Structures are given as C-alpha cells and as structure tokens.
Structure 1
Amino acid sequence: MPSSPLQRRGRFGMRSFRMPPPATLCLIYLSSIIVGAGLLSLPFATAPDVDIGLMTAVFISTSAVTVTGLSTVDVGATFSLFGEVVIAALIQLGGLGLMTFAVMVLSALGIPVGMPQRLILREDLGQTTLNNLTVLVRIILVVALTCELVATCILSFVFIPEFGVAHGMWLALFHAISAFNNAGFSLLPTGLVPYVADPIVNIVIPVLFILGGLGFVVVGDIYQKRSWQRLTLHSKLMLSGSACLIVFGFVTFALLEWTNPGTLGALPSSGQRLWASWFQAVTPRTAGFNTLDTGAMHDSTTMLTMLLMFVGGGSTSTAGGIKVTTLIVLIVATIAFFRRTSGLNIFGRSLKMEEVMKVLALTTVSIILVFVGLFFVSISHDGEFLDLAFEVVSAFGTVGLSRGATAELDGIGLSFIMLMMFAGRVGPLALGFFLATRSAPRVKFAPGQIYLG
C-alpha cells in the first residue's frame, strides 16, 4: 500500500513524517507567537506596577505577529520601551514574513536555499510557483526598509515638536513600521485621532499601508516596468481594483457620515471632513488606524467598513482579507456566467479555471471561518451583534479596527478572536491544505446532474 504524502522512507527503512509546507508555516507563526508572549510577560516588558497577565501577553503577541492591531490594553501606557520594541519586532517579522528573514539570513551566510525552504516561502508569500522567490525576498526587504526609514524621517516632523527628540523619533519609527505592515498598533492613547486634520499624517500613514497592501510583486513590477502596458496582469488588477475600492470607500463614507455628530459632523471645516473621509476609506484595507471614533459610525457605514475589511489588500503583501484580485475574479466569473461565455478575459489576458476554483475555495473557507468565529464569540459574549460581527471581521481581515467589543470579551471570546487573527494571517487555503491531504482518485464516476437556483 503506497505511503501517504506525509510519510517518506528514512535511510534505515524507518518511516519519517514530513509536514507539508502550509503546516510548517502555521507552526512557525505559532512558535513566534509563543516566543513573543513569553517576552511580553517578562517583568521589565511592562510599565512599573503593571501586570498584564498571560492572556493579555498572548493576545498582544498574536495581534502583533498577525499584524492585526487589536488590543485589550493601552499599548503605550502598558508596556515599557523594551515591550514596545518587542511588539515592533513582532510586527516586522509577521508583516514581512518570517520565512523572508530566514531566507535572507541563509543567503547572507552563503547557504543555498533548499526546496523545503522554498516550498514554505511560497506558501508564506502566497505564490503558486517557485521561480524567482529569492529575488522577490530581496525586493520585499529593500522596499519595506526604504519606505519605513523615509516615513520615519517625515513623521518625525510631527512627533518631535510635541514629544521631544528621543520619544518623538521612536513614535515616528514605531508608527512607520506599524503602518507599512498594516498592523494598526499605536503608542498614543487615542490613536491618531488628534491628527485627524494633519496633512503629513493623512498622507504618509495611508501611503505606507497602501504600498504595503498593494503587494511587493506589484511594487517591484512598477519599479521595473514603469509603464502600464508592460505591467503584469496581477499588477493591473491590483492597481485598478485598489483605486476603485478607495474611491468607492471615500465617496460613500463622506456621504454617509457627513452630518454624523459623532464622526465627520464634529469636525468644523469641510477640509477636515474630507481628510477624515480619505483616511477612513483606506484604513479598512487591513491598516487598522483610525482618526475618528469607529464606534460612533452609522450602522450603514459599519457595514461598508466590514466589506472593505473582508476584501483586504493584495497577495504577497502585509494585508489580510480575501484579497482584491479574489474579488475581481469573482465579479468577472459572475459576469461571464450571465453572458454565457466559456472563458474569462481581463486586460487582454485569459484566466484558467484553476484560478477560479482557487478563488471560490478561498472565499468559501473565509466566509465559513467568519461565521463560525462569530457564532462562538456571540455564545461567550452577550453584546451588540453588529459590534461583535465587526470585531470578528476585523480579526479575520487582520485589520485591527474596533468598536470596543474586544476589550469586553472573556477568555473564551478572546481565544476565538486570536484564532481568527491567526487564520486570517496564515491564510484559509494554507489552513485547508493543513487539514486535508491530497489523494489521487482510484475510481472515476460517470457525470451526474444537479439543479441549482
């Protein structure tokens, strides 16, 4: 009887078990969460006379590694400088991908990157092939570090006059790392609300998480091609899809919240309202920062934000969600069905049916995960349903926006939120591959017919 894909013969005939790359990736992220929680639990990781407990340490570590940004405590007031550095490091590792750093270390030491490492890296970066993975890793690190350093220098002009040179530079660096990695963590007690009308904050922070959310493949493609006609299909889909979602979110948010006294209506000028609408339109794309009170939004605006959080950003990016390209393929496939066309064509290129099946699987798994998470969270917490749904979608999309329900959850509710963050970061397909093994069918059946609709 043939061995399963997880079993291989050792040198002495013994059966050894090798985990598939998605499962190994899950273990790598899980190990990072455990290490991060251990560091955050150290006495000198928190402010004097502050004891966060193990659950809070695990939750913050999970939120940082999964670049979500949800928190049950005031990060700036709770943690010491050491704890804040640990959180920033976890964000950087989780956002850029732990395997990215591992491959760079191996390359720097002159150690060739073997096939097992390439397979894990492929899952971590959401790629379908093994070609040019190490080149992509270099692009990721160069783009990330350059963007973060430039943003730190610019943001320092905002924070240094208010907080001094040392603390101001640290705030600028921390927020640059958090923004580019789409984490949403802030060291300020009210987040970026005090800077709702600040042009520098409203430009630099969104540019960071838009670049991080577009995906490193897109950024590298733009740098190399510098021409719309020469861009790959993926880059064209990401750029056009992201632009449409940003414009849609901006216009809709402004229309829905313009007179709301809890959000835009509280701002004195139209210019400030437009700045706030712009920021709130782009931040649900898994960034997690806010310049307005999210809990004061209308229910309709909350639903809009949940939709944007569920879609997320792009593949090979620091963003979560089902991804922009997934949404586009779903729309194109639906249009093709109603037009009775057999092929899918976008920007002069055709899509394989395998891509459509992958999109359907990803969307189905994502919807099931969100509903299951909401079901169990609602069992453990009898709160406002819309608030709970918002927290679950935010956790799955690794966004970090909150309407205040997360801080009120008990241990069971927080555990399920952590599971949602983990699933949203590692990827529904990776978890699906982890839970199921492929097997070649031994018997082929005659085709059947079912009735739909």
Structure 2
Amino acid sequence: MTLIRARLRHLTPGQALLIYYAFAILLGGTLLSTPLASTGSPLSFLDALFTATSAQCVTGLAVVDTGTRLSLFGQVIVLLLIQTGGLGITTFSVYLFSYLGSGFSLHSRKLIEETLLPCPYASINELIRGIFILTFAIEGIGTLLLSIRLVPQLGWAMGLYSALFHSISAFCNAGFSLFPDSVIGFRGDPLVNLTLMFLIIAGGLGFLVLQEVLGMTRRTKGHRRRLSLHSRLVLVTTLILTLGGALLLWLIEVPSELHHLSPAEGFWTMLFQSVSARTAGFNSLDLNLLATPSLFLLIVLMFIGASPGSCGGGIKTTSLALLFAILKSRLRGENHTNIFRRTIPEELTTRVLTLVLLSILVCGIAIFALLAVQTYGLPASASRGSLLAYSFEAVSAFATVGLSLGVTSSLLPAGKLIIIGLMFIGRVGILTLAFAFAQRSRRASVVYSQEQIMIG
C-alpha cells in the first residue's frame, strides 16, 4: 500500500483522474459481466464495459435494457457508478490532492480554482461537504416526490427503490431508467415531469451556482449577497436555451407529431425534451417520430450541454455565452470581451475557443469513424440515411447525454468501442486537458516576422 501511494505521488492530477475513472469502469464492467448481475445469461464483457462506462460517465446510452436485463445486483452497481461518476468529477480531484500530499500547495489550489471554481473559495473541505449535503438533500426530495406516484403503482419496496434510482439518475444527468420506454409512460403526469425537470436542471446548473442561489436568501453584514458573473451567465444561458429550445421544438412539431395533443400538453412535452437534451438523456416521446430539424436542434442542445462544475457534459453554457460575447466584441472592432459590465481575461477567451474547436474536431472524427465502421460494405442507398442517426449517437456520447435514435443496441464491437471512447473523453477529457496544460511548464515561444494571409 505504501509503494502504491508513493507511485501515486508522482502522477499528475490529470493522470490520477484518468486512472480513477478507468479503474471504476473496469471494476464496474467486471462486476456487471458476472452471472449475479444479469437476469438471464451473463453480459459479454464488452456489453458490461459499455454499460459501466455509460453509468460512470453519467451518459445513459444502453446496449441492454437496465430494468429487465440486469438483476437487482446489477442495477445497484449501475446506480453506484452513476452516483460516484456524477460526484467524482468535482470531488475526487480535490480529495486526491489532500490524500497524496499534506494539504494543498499554492499551485494545486490554483489549479482546482481555475478548473472547478469560478472564484476562490474559503475552504475546499467546506466546499466538498456542502456538495455532498446538497446532493443528498436534492436527491432525497426527488425520491420523496417520485415515490408519491411510483409507490401506488409498484408497491412500497419497488416503488421507493424505483423513485430513488430515477432521482439519482436525473440529478446526476445520467438518463438511466428502469422502464423500457424511459419516461414516455409518464408524459402526461405533471408531478413526475416537474420533479424530473427540477432534478435535471439542478444537477446541470453546477453545485456552486446552487450554493450561490441558496445563499441569496441570507444576508451578510446587513447586505444581501450578489450572484457572481459565473452564476449569472449560467442562469441566463440555461433559461434561454431551455425555453428557446422548447419553443422551437413545439413550433416545428405542432403540424406533425404534436397535432393530436393540446397546445399546452404539446409544449409541456417539448419543454421536458428541451431540458433532457442538455445531458440528461430521458425521453418522454419516441425521438424517431420527430422531424429532421427537431433532431438537428437536439444535437445542438446536446453539444452545448450543461454548466461547469455540474454532473453534465458538453462544451458548457458559459462557453456558449463567451462565444457570442467574443463574436459581438470582434464584430464591433473591440479587442476585449465584455459581459454584464465585466471584462473577460484574454487567456480565458483563448481557452474557450480552443475547447470548442477541439470538441468539434473530436466529434467530427468520431462520426466519420462510426460511419466507416457501421456502414462498411452496405449499399450506398442503405447507408446514406445513417448519417443523422450516428451523428446523433456520437454527439450524445461525447456530451454524456444518453439520447439515441435506437442504434445503440445494433452497434458492432468496433462501434461500441468508439462510443465508449467518446463517453470517456466527454466526461474527463476537458478537465484532464486543463490539468495537463496547467502542469506543463511554459517555454518562451519564438516570434518570427509577421506576414498577412487572405481569409474569409
């Protein structure tokens, strides 16, 4: 144990984080491949590994039905992976420094603050305790609300268990469900819909934003606390994306899929799907029935994802807000970026542009590879319709969403490996890159004579 701890001391935080997630996935995959985890024949190791990766990376894509194919033991393993995966991205990296060293060095603390926190925090341990307390409190409230509907249907034991499972899955933005049709059967149930949307949004806002919002009710030295720039950006962008996405989906689908529903019920359904598309993965209607523009809009919402420091994935809401702010400032001929009467550091704008470009590049390569693998040898007429389905699948995996057009179960072994890689990169990749770049020593770059090129 001493030797292992000594070796771990020499790892960078990014390497340690990768090892943590890889170990949890391998352990979960091994347990899920045992006969105890299945109701019938044991899962193949690849299917078990896929399920464990999807759970640990809080994605929700599934090659087998969780409620019927997995036993109670298997479902509990999935639930534990979801909970540790949702909390791990924020808490593990902090506790890692505390475990491997005596306290936090100035460099380690700065690294945590730049990667996880929008502003310096008084006590890291206090932050972590607050995250756990807030998480379990919200999941407990969600369990109680969902049990009101599920206990009468399933009985006390199964109803409470199902309520707990879906509450944790929703708050961690995982999208795993014990029902074969996700939550389509509860599409017209206001209690279930409102509870799930509350859990999804709370888990996608980020722990620090939630703490700031709750802190608004308290006064400090006679003055009410103000929200930080980060929290204001997150809340405004989330509101615009949620309501704007729901309105666009409703307008597109009114003539077709929603014509048999009342306007209120139709918008209610689209609102749930707009919320869920931002990394949650639950669906209250068959996505294959939606029009192509609606599916493209869902891809955009998935790619944007949730907010920094949350259980969700994607490029994050703050990145989108900064992109528009950068575009606005450059079109005005300004060399700096302002938001809400605050100037954004130039280093941060560069990181945002790098993050978005890398994300587009990774998704593009993955879509090409997935199409090459899945459509190899098929006639051209049969493969052309696959572009949308596999693009949807790839973005859903990268953004750790879990929505699918039904191609997950038909993935070939190579296709499953591509999706596993995307889910892993989408969950830990950006944080790992931040750690790696922060650890790397900066060398003075050579500056050559300037020369113009044509653009646009």
Relative to the length of structure 2, the TM-score reads: 0.88
Once the two structures are overlaid, the 10-residue window that deviates more, 202-211 or 112-121, is 112-121
The answer as to 2:23 corresponding to 1:28 is: no
Q: Distance in 2 between matches of 1:359 and 1:328?
A: 10
CA contact (8 A) 1:100 1:121 kept: no
* Aligned residue type for 1:306: I
CA contact (8 A) 2:17 2:93 kept: no
* Aligned residue type for 2:26: I
C-alpha deviation, 1:39, in angstroms = 1.3
Superposition map of 1:13-52 within 5 A: 18-47=10-39, 49-52=40-43
CA contact (8 A) 1:22 1:123 kept: no
Superposition map of 1:19-418 within 5 A: 19-47=11-39, 49-97=40-88, 100=91, 113-115=103-105, 125=116, 132-226=123-217, 230-261=226-257, 264-267=258-261, 269-382=262-375, 383=383, 384-418=386-420
Q: Distance in 1 between matches of 2:121 and 2:9?
A: 23
CA contact (8 A) 1:99 1:124 kept: no
**Counterpart secondary structure, 2:338:** strand
C-alpha deviation, 1:342, in angstroms = 2.1
Partner of 1:8: none
Q: Distance in 2 between matches of 1:160 and 1:357?
A: 51
CA 1:337 to 1:121, structure 2 compared with 1: closer, same or farther past 3 Å? closer
CA 1:295 to 1:424, structure 2 compared with 1: closer, same or farther past 3 Å? same
C-alpha deviation, 1:97, in angstroms = 1.3
Q: Distance in 2 between matches of 1:381 and 1:174?
A: 33
CA 1:422 to 1:145, structure 2 compared with 1: closer, same or farther past 3 Å? same
CA contact (8 A) 2:97 2:104 kept: no
Q: Distance in 1 between matches of 2:103 and 2:291?
A: 51
CA 1:434 to 1:58, structure 2 compared with 1: closer, same or farther past 3 Å? farther
* Deviant stretches of 4+, over 2 Å: 15-20, 101-107, 111-136, 225-229, 264-267, 269-272, 427-439, 441-452
Q: Deviations over 1:182-215 (max 9, x none)?
A: 0000011111000001001110001101011011
Partner of 1:5: none
CA contact (8 A) 1:390 1:403 kept: yes
C-alpha deviation, 1:143, in angstroms = 1.3
CA contact (8 A) 2:314 2:399 kept: yes
CA contact (8 A) 2:203 2:312 kept: yes
Gapped regions of structure 1 (runs ≥ 5): 1-10
CA 1:294 to 1:372, structure 2 compared with 1: closer, same or farther past 3 Å? same
**Counterpart secondary structure, 2:343:** strand
In percent, how many aligned pairs have the same letter?
37
CA 1:446 to 1:181, structure 2 compared with 1: closer, same or farther past 3 Å? same
C-alpha deviation, 1:291, in angstroms = 0.4
C-alpha deviation, 1:77, in angstroms = 0.4
C-alpha deviation, 1:432, in angstroms = 7.2
Q: State the number of aligned residues.
A: 434
C-alpha deviation, 1:441, in angstroms = 2.4
CA 1:29 to 1:138, structure 2 compared with 1: closer, same or farther past 3 Å? same
Q: Distance in 1 between matches of 2:97 and 2:303?
A: 35
* Aligned residue type for 1:428: I
* Aligned residue type for 1:265: H
Q: Distance in 2 between matches of 1:102 and 1:446?
A: 42
Partner of 2:378: none
Gapped regions of structure 2 (runs ≥ 5): 1-5, 219-223, 376-382
Q: Please, which of 440, 450, 453 is the counterpart of residue 453 of structure 2?
A: 450
Q: Distance in 1 between matches of 2:42 and 2:110?
A: 41
* Aligned residue type for 1:358: R
Q: Deviations over 1:338-385 (max 9, x none)?
A: 101122111121101011001011001100110011011011112511
Partner of 1:7: none
CA 1:414 to 1:122, structure 2 compared with 1: closer, same or farther past 3 Å? farther
CA contact (8 A) 2:247 2:267 kept: no
Relative to the length of structure 1, the TM-score reads: 0.89
C-alpha deviation, 1:27, in angstroms = 1.6
* Aligned residue type for 2:369: F
CA contact (8 A) 1:50 1:78 kept: no
**Counterpart secondary structure, 1:427:** helix
